[in-house]
Structure 1
Amino acid sequence: MTGPLLRAENLRKDYKLSRGQKLRALDNVSFDVMPGEVLGLVGESGCGKSTLGRCLLRLTELSSGRITFDGQDISFLSERALRPLRRQIQMVFQDSYASLNPRRRIADLIAEPLCVHRDKNGCKRSGPAIQARLAELMNLVGLPVSALTRYPHEFSGGQRQRINIARALALAPQLVIADEPVSALDVSVQAQIVNLFTDLREQLGLTYVFIAHDLAVVRQISTRVAVMYLGAVVELGDTDTVLHTPAHPYTVALISAVPEPVIRHAASRTLLHGDVPSPISPPSGCRFHTRCPHAETLCSAKAPDLHLLSDGRLVACHFPLMENL
């Protein structure tokens, strides 16, 4: 496959509120995800990352825009037409415990998609075939086969996330959307799960959309990064380029907020003042201009489009920080 595995074009998601108000959670979001790559989605809480992930999987319906998966437009397919594609796109959720039915054994939880979906030949899977696949999945995620007879509460948070990953991989998907899969885990366990995602990608040829607020995690696993602010992508490019020489002031502020072992002088940090504007009534022009230390008159009058810089990244800023490039 030479084209993108996943393409998002001008995605919008509006939520209707009382008194005729509207909350725009996604605003003209566009990007491509190539086969085998990892696109990291980062931004503050409430910026629309999780909504975007759910829209890509069609768990949340779009207001407008287009999603193309493996060359097929899936934006507004009926559930019946979408069902055969469900096996190709899976999700790992943030809450490893809430994602698992506490009353069911691990074997039943992981086997559920195998029982619901037929195999590639359109046949129902036999019991022995399902058992063999369960053992294979346990080996992939680093858990003993004996874990299949136990219940979710008998495992640690990291082990439960491994179970969720096994369930997501049960149907051998091409794309996995991981929604903050390590944010609720201890730092040492986070590293183990991130390493597992990396190993599985290399072993199975997976493609990821990896949603996170921890830039250290994103730097470790992602090949490209999309930075979101108030429902829109403000910077998109290769991980090293975006995180080492950020061009958007908001990206600079996110990186400045990362704790370091050696405390930097306050002058070397970019501090954001004020609160995140309400998505119900966002600022005119650039949504970031009310907090941007470099804002000028143009920023409040006109919203910047994502435009290509000389190094290949996309930035939605009238005055990108060219001294970093």
Structure 2
Amino acid sequence: MTGTDQPILETRALSKRFSIGTRFSSEGRRVVHAVDNVSLTVRRGETVGLVGESGCGKSTLARCLVRLYDITDGQLLFDGDDITAKSLAELRPVRRRLQMVFQDPSASLNPRRRVGDLVAEPLRVHAKLTSAGIRERVAELFDLVGLLPDHVGRYPHEFSGGQRQRVGIARAIALNPDLVVLDEPVSALDVSVQAQIVNLLADLQDKLKLTYIFIAHDLSVVRQVSTRIAVMYLGSIVEEGPSEEVFSAPAHPYSQALISAVPVVETTPSGRRKRIILSGDVPSPLKPPAGCRFHPRCPVAKDRCRTERPALVEHKSGRKVACHFPASV
């Protein structure tokens, strides 16, 4: 599904920092720069894929977007309304329209409650329905996600991983949200089950007119489902653009390295993709490098990269790249 120009969610220089340690420790309090200066626009009806290595800040950003984490700096706008500093009471109507599916379905479902009750919980809190109306809606949701009516009385441990994730999806769409943030929804599943969940999400998007933010480290899955791609490195977005353009001609050196690692079928020797191996480890978010955060591992870094941090700049092609020396865009 393609998006429109009307944004449903927008971040402006959004940052999230965590303080660790105490004044009683020898090192004092230290600051983790988990998300730093992220500006992102999500339009209605599209799927924005968010990719990057483990620890780059994808899940932290996801929790900021649904206000499970307070935001340190910047702004978060949902459907034009600034929700950056709204109280829990003020966020209540927003919760109906902004939902999240978590990575681990086992951890996100209360093992002591029946799954029918778990799916019904947001209806009891937010929807003005009778008990009969709630039961009817739960049955409808189970049917939508491919679960059987008699599953409502079972506990999470009685399901497979894929079925548990279907329960999580049913709970997320219970209130007919506008936007669903999917935090690595298939990474804990077998490959065959991943395909089933991805197809289910696509069907639900068409039926319910949903907008998705799809977070994953599997670039093949992201390419399949996403309209646009945003690539994160050490808490910041380094490249953003239409999915096929980013995959076919990545402009940032980090994007090039990520995409070169995606397995492909080599039909001829000339069709082989050159693998880019990055040197070193990802720097600590406790002490990010000066200048471009990627420069210690970048194969094309120059002196300017070590001292001047590049802004995320939009080029004529519509691609946004945070690099002093991007590939042709």
Indicate whether the TM-score tops 0.5. yes
The one-letter code sitting in structure 2 at the alignment partner of 1:80 is A
From 85, 88, 93, the counterpart of 1:79: 88
Measure the CA separation in 2 of the matches of 1:276 and 1:316. 17
- Structure 2 counterpart of 1:159: 163
SS state of the match for residue 250, structure 2?
Answer: coil
Deviation for aligned residue 1:260: 3.1
- Structure 2 counterpart of 1:12: 15
- Structure 1 counterpart of 2:25: none
Measure the CA separation in 2 of the matches of 1:303 and 1:189. 41
Deviation for aligned residue 1:23: 1.1
User: Are positions 1:61 and 2:70 aligned together?
Assistant: yes
Q: Deviations over 1:239-271 (max 9, x none)?
A: 001111100000000011223344989981111
- Structure 2 counterpart of 1:88: 97
Measure the CA separation in 2 of the matches of 1:246 and 1:11. 24
Q: Deviations over 1:95-141 (max 9, x none)?
A: 111111111111111000100113xxxxx310111111011101110
| Equivalent residues, number | 318
Q: Deviations over 1:180-223 (max 9, x none)?
A: 00000001100110111111101110001111000011001110
Change (3 A) 1:256 1:2: closer
Measure the CA separation in 2 of the matches of 1:151 and 1:7. 37
- Structure 2 counterpart of 1:113: 122
SS state of the match for residue 256, structure 2?
Answer: helix
- CA contact under 8 A between 2:109 and 2:156: conserved in structure 1? yes
From 52, 55, 61, the counterpart of 1:52: 61
SS state of the match for residue 74, structure 2?
Answer: strand
The one-letter code sitting in structure 1 at the alignment partner of 2:164 is R
The one-letter code sitting in structure 2 at the alignment partner of 1:260 is V
SS state of the match for residue 105, structure 2?
Answer: coil
Deviation for aligned residue 1:310: 2.1
Gaps of 5+ in 1: 119-123
Compute the RMSD of aligned alpha carbons: 1.5
4+ long deviations beyond 2 Å: 259-267
Measure the CA separation in 1 of the matches of 2:140 and 2:224. 27
- Structure 1 counterpart of 2:315: 309
Measure the CA separation in 1 of the matches of 2:265 and 2:191. 15
User: Are positions 1:287 and 2:277 aligned together?
Assistant: no
- Within a 5 Å distance, the mapping from 1:239-278 to structure 2 comes to 239-262=243-266, 268-278=274-284
Q: Deviations over 1:129-160 (max 9, x none)?
A: 11110111011101111111111111100010
The one-letter code sitting in structure 1 at the alignment partner of 2:33 is R
Measure the CA separation in 2 of the matches of 1:102 and 1:231. 33
User: Are positions 1:176 and 2:180 aligned together?
Assistant: yes
The one-letter code sitting in structure 2 at the alignment partner of 1:8 is T
- Structure 2 counterpart of 1:300: 306
Measure the CA separation in 1 of the matches of 2:222 and 2:253. 19
The one-letter code sitting in structure 1 at the alignment partner of 2:323 is C
From 17, 30, 46, the counterpart of 1:37: 46
- CA contact under 8 A between 2:240 and 2:246: conserved in structure 1? yes
Measure the CA separation in 2 of the matches of 1:210 and 1:132. 29
- Structure 1 counterpart of 2:24: none
Change (3 A) 1:127 1:58: same
Change (3 A) 1:21 1:200: same
- CA contact under 8 A between 2:292 and 2:310: conserved in structure 1? yes
Measure the CA separation in 1 of the matches of 2:312 and 2:150. 51
The one-letter code sitting in structure 2 at the alignment partner of 1:110 is V
- CA contact under 8 A between 2:260 and 2:273: conserved in structure 1? no
- Structure 2 counterpart of 1:121: none
Measure the CA separation in 2 of the matches of 1:101 and 1:308. 44
Measure the CA separation in 1 of the matches of 2:20 and 2:112. 36
Change (3 A) 1:267 1:216: closer
Change (3 A) 1:149 1:210: same
The one-letter code sitting in structure 2 at the alignment partner of 1:166 is A
